[in-house]
Structure 1
Amino acid sequence: MATHGRSRRRKLSLPLPSPCDGADGTTRAGGEAKHPRLILTVCILASSLAFIDGSVLNVALPAIGRSYDAATAEVQWVVNAFTLPLTALLLLGGAAGDLYGRRRLMLWGIALFAAASLLCATAPSLEIFLTARALQGLGGAMLMPNSLAILSAAFAGEARGRAVGTWAAVGAMAGAAAPLLGGWIVDNASWPLIFLINLPIAAGAILLGWRYVPESRNEGRPSPDWVGALLGTASLGALTWALTAWSAAGALDTATLVSLGAGIILALAFLMAERRRGESAMVPLAMFGSRPFVGLTIFTFLLYGALGGLMLVLPYMLIEAGGYPAATAGAALLPLPIVIAIGSPLMGKLAARIGPRWPLTLGPLLVAGGFALALRIGAETSYWTSVFPAIFAVSAGMAIAVAPLTTAVLSAVEQSHVGTASGLNSAVARGGGLIAVALLGAVLSQQGAALIAGFHGAALAGVALALVSSLTAFATLGSFKPSPGTA
């Protein structure tokens, strides 16, 4: 493979928090830990690593593909090599944090993420680069669920709702603003520098986390479900490979069918293993006896699948078919961080009072409207009259949904499963994006007018996914409302 080079062209009912220990790990009366603002800062810095790298490469895909002379399926794996282990192992990361210490897992995850980022920036071949991306995903699976679980352990009552809302808003802002920064780097420097941004963020998170974040755990929890993790990862990997190969080639060959069948068999084996392990499973199936929990899981998968597809295809289309510079394509997504940052904390407090049903019903309707407006986007259309209205509508819908969804999912479990709940919430969201990216090969392989037509087809699929997610929330949540402890 060609080495990378310079490119200047287009382009979640929580009772009381967990007991904490350590020098700074004592809790205040009422359950709030010392140094709450610093704890929130560390959790935001840690999770922002995964949020940023989950989206920053979207505007760099054309440049990376040219640097490594990558085919369409290989370009898809630039995204999915990171998303696959992140999705499959988030649940294990949350469970391991509950048992071995959430701060410990988070800090080790940050360190692994930083080391893998350095390897991404210096990888001489696509194979090494994709391996480093997978290691980033593993680090993300360690730090993501434990950062949210640490927040749940460190805050109580209304302060918890505010902290979760702020965490969600800043994370979404970092993930959506990342394409702007990434695009500027692609246009003005070299895309490997994108990964070096992670190093000072990781260093700050480790230093502050080691000094100020209290340790919390659930020592009575059974050992992590290694068998479930292995089966789940293998199943998701086989299914993702099959869908990626099918979408890129536009046909089902023998190898793709074998991979698809293996993925389904492994998924059934995963469900059997989880059923046998019971409450100690990576995904305790008893949690799905709750209708609201099932509804929230389906909702998350559908809505974030639609959003993940948009975040990938829109910048790619603007760069390749619309002639946008990479930085301009990244700037096209700026309404997302601005609107979500303003709306999420307010919606988190409102949903704690009225319940999540109406926010999670109305938010996706706006998202669907945004996807419908995206049908007006073409090669020669104005940003302000075509791209901006679509992005703004999607942003407003997500701002309504993000914080209520996170709080509602966490409200559905006991404290002993808070790591599992946060991991499941994140895994399902990223699983939706993983499948969406795997299915978009047919779009990414096109050029010019065909690429725009493919984008419009993806937008119509986004409309359908958002509408079904809205109906799911309305039908399954009913009078469900987070308990006062989660506000």
Structure 2
Amino acid sequence: MSSLFTDTSHPNRKWLVLAIVAMTQLVVVLDGTIVAISLPHAQAELHLSDVQRQWVVTAYALAFGSLLLLGGRIADFWGRKRTYIVGLAGFGIASAYGGLIHSGAELIIARGLQGVFAALMAPAALAILTITFPMGRERNTAFAIFGTTAGMGAAIGFILGGILTEYASWRWCLLVNVPIVVVAIFAAALLLTESKAQGDTKLDIISAVTVTAGLGALVYGFTLAEHGWNQLSVLLYLAGAVVLLTVFVVRQATYAHPLLPLRILNRTRSGAFLLQMIAGATMIGAMLYLTFHMQIVLQFTPLQAGLGMIVQTVAISSTVPFATKLLPKFGPRPYLIIGPIIASVGIFYLSFVTVGGSYWTQIMPALIIAGIGMALLFVPVQNIALLGVDPHDAGAASATGNASNQIGGSIGLAVFTTIYVEASAGSHLPADLVEGYHAVFRASAVVVLFGAVIAFLMIRGSKADLMPGITVKEMH
């Protein structure tokens, strides 16, 4: 075993690297949902308003997603190993702070800090993986494992959050990250080798500010829309978001050292990023309301609600091996079309839940169907998003994929909350709550189904072009 840590040419060393980055990616993704299952308990202890409760989830996803582009460039230029370890350390400290706070405002701040350091850690991890597995069947396997780990992270977060809340405290949903981070830092220091992008090392701070402010204004505008779309504040925030994001895009096209080189965004890769955004909206936004239905309407305990979500995790993990094995035969494009269609059927099935309904007939079948569909999406989408990317842009490209997922989650949560409030008319009666959940699930099903349209129109190229194990041609 010691030779694995000392011999950089050891054939099994790369799989330990995969284990490390996959473990930390799991932590980053599940942290978006692990707190969600414990929100009723945290709200009661800290006296959070309903708006503050939502921002406990949104602050993490928004900070994470909006800063990932900057984090990706820092990883490229400052060094991927160094950035990864700093991100791990900061994430652990923010998690410890969040587990020890005494007010709702402090909890939201801690969650935002977690997102900031996750924005350093996640793109560095994916860039390390891209360099460790540059091509071939090993790359296919590595990305399938990594993508599936990330895909299951949201569901695992619900389960683990339920267990920790029921048997310890909601605070352990944050504190649990600390020992994982300590182990990961130790292993990363021994196993990883430093790598950097070649060439100019300037960072586009102005672009980082405009994209962060633009995305923040967008999500906050959607949040304010809970009380009506015709409010002046909503219109101002959304208009400001459009202006800031337009400035960002124009700067990327004209600045010599852009934060997001637009050459990354060819049609196929852009389609993959949009699919990741849709997956984030579904796994972070819509699934949160399913846990609310189970806890508030069906009166499940946090543990029962968490265990109720394990069916989706099992469906995903059971589907992935078969999907990975058949991927070389069919190629990724059919997966990316069929997967969202199947997932949308499962989510739409949830729109038939009732106040006195059974988990076994109204929820479990939906989670199985949705899990199968999402697994088909998770297996190839991460690989497609990075296929053909120049090593100089590896961090930026991986950051764009992760940002798409998190921003999709934060926007999805804001939009679905607005839909829920309008459909439930602000009532807390079980029948009215269920009407709100119905609206959320129907909207989510439409969004996921749109993913199939995106894949059909944007994921182009032959099977050989889209399979790095066969060829690594640049896509057109």
Q: Same fold (TM over 0.5)?
A: yes
After superposition, give the CA deviation of every residue in 1:190-218 in whole Å (9 maximum; x if it has no partner).
21121111011000100000011122221
Query: Can you give the 5+ residue segments of structure 2 that lack an aligned partner in the other structure?
Result: none
The answer to whether the 8 Å contact 2:272/2:382 transfers is no
Whichever residue aligns with residue 47 of structure 2, its letter is D
Pair 1:305-2:281 in alignment: yes
Size of the aligned set, in residue pairs, is: 459
Whichever residue aligns with residue 450 of structure 2, its letter is V
Partner in structure 2 of residue 93 of structure 1 = 71
Partner in structure 1 of residue 128 of structure 2 = 150
Matches within 5 A, 1:175-186: 175-186=154-165
CA distance in 2, matches of 1:110, 1:336: 28
After superposition, give the CA deviation of every residue in 1:412-461 in whole Å (9 maximum; x if it has no partner).
42222121111111111111111011123342654211111111111111
Percent of residue pairs bearing the same amino acid type = 27
Matches within 5 A, 1:87-166: 87-156=65-134, 157-166=136-145
The answer to whether the 8 Å contact 2:204/2:259 transfers is yes
CA distance in 1, matches of 2:238, 2:192: 43
Partner in structure 1 of residue 467 of structure 2 = 482
Pair 1:390-2:366 in alignment: yes
Partner in structure 2 of residue 436 of structure 1 = 412
Partner in structure 2 of residue 361 of structure 1 = 337
Q: Among residues 179, 182, 194, which one is paired with 1:215 in the alignment?
A: 194
- Tell which deviates more after alignment, 436-445 or 110-119: 436-445
26 and 265 in structure 1: CA distance in 2 versus 1, 3 angstrom threshold = farther
The answer to whether the 8 Å contact 1:120/1:195 transfers is yes
Partner in structure 2 of residue 378 of structure 1 = 354
After superposition, give the CA deviation of every residue in 1:121-159 in whole Å (9 maximum; x if it has no partner).
111111111111111001111111111111111124211
Pair 1:230-2:209 in alignment: yes
Q: Among residues 278, 290, 315, which one is paired with 1:314 in the alignment?
A: 290
The answer to whether the 8 Å contact 1:275/1:284 transfers is yes
CA distance in 2, matches of 1:269, 1:349: 44
Partner in structure 2 of residue 39 of structure 1 = 17
After superposition, give the CA deviation of every residue in 1:197-250 in whole Å (9 maximum; x if it has no partner).
101100010000001112222132432221111110001111111111212x24
- Match of 2:340, SS state, is helix
Deviation at 1:92, TM superposition (A): 1.5
- Match of 2:162, SS state, is helix
Partner in structure 1 of residue 242 of structure 2 = 264
Whichever residue aligns with residue 109 of structure 2, its letter is T
- Tell which deviates more after alignment, 300-309 or 401-410: 300-309
The answer to whether the 8 Å contact 2:198/2:392 transfers is no
Partner in structure 2 of residue 471 of structure 1 = 453
- Tell which deviates more after alignment, 238-247 or 204-213: 238-247
Pair 1:458-2:440 in alignment: yes
Partner in structure 2 of residue 81 of structure 1 = 59
Partner in structure 2 of residue 282 of structure 1 = 259
Query: Can you give the 5+ residue segments of structure 1 that lack an aligned partner in the other structure?
Result: 1-22
Whichever residue aligns with residue 200 of structure 1, its letter is P
Pair 1:253-2:231 in alignment: yes
The answer to whether the 8 Å contact 2:197/2:392 transfers is yes
The answer to whether the 8 Å contact 1:24/1:214 transfers is no
The answer to whether the 8 Å contact 2:345/2:369 transfers is yes
Deviation at 1:314, TM superposition (A): 0.6
Partner in structure 2 of residue 196 of structure 1 = 175
Bigger RCO (CA 8 Å, 6+ sep): 1
- Tell which deviates more after alignment, 377-386 or 60-69: 60-69
Whichever residue aligns with residue 118 of structure 2, its letter is G
Partner in structure 1 of residue 396 of structure 2 = 420
The answer to whether the 8 Å contact 1:413/1:421 transfers is yes
- Tell which deviates more after alignment, 52-61 or 64-73: 64-73
Matches within 5 A, 1:291-302: 291-302=267-278
Partner in structure 1 of residue 42 of structure 2 = 64
Pair 1:187-2:166 in alignment: yes
Deviation at 1:346, TM superposition (A): 4.2
CA distance in 2, matches of 1:165, 1:323: 37
Q: Among residues 268, 281, 300, which one is paired with 1:324 in the alignment?
A: 300
The answer to whether the 8 Å contact 1:370/1:392 transfers is yes
- Tell which deviates more after alignment, 223-232 or 333-342: 333-342
The answer to whether the 8 Å contact 1:25/1:213 transfers is no
- Tell which deviates more after alignment, 434-443 or 348-357: 348-357
Deviation at 1:389, TM superposition (A): 0.6
346 and 210 in structure 1: CA distance in 2 versus 1, 3 angstrom threshold = farther
After superposition, give the CA deviation of every residue in 1:272-295 in whole Å (9 maximum; x if it has no partner).
2211225x312222333x222232
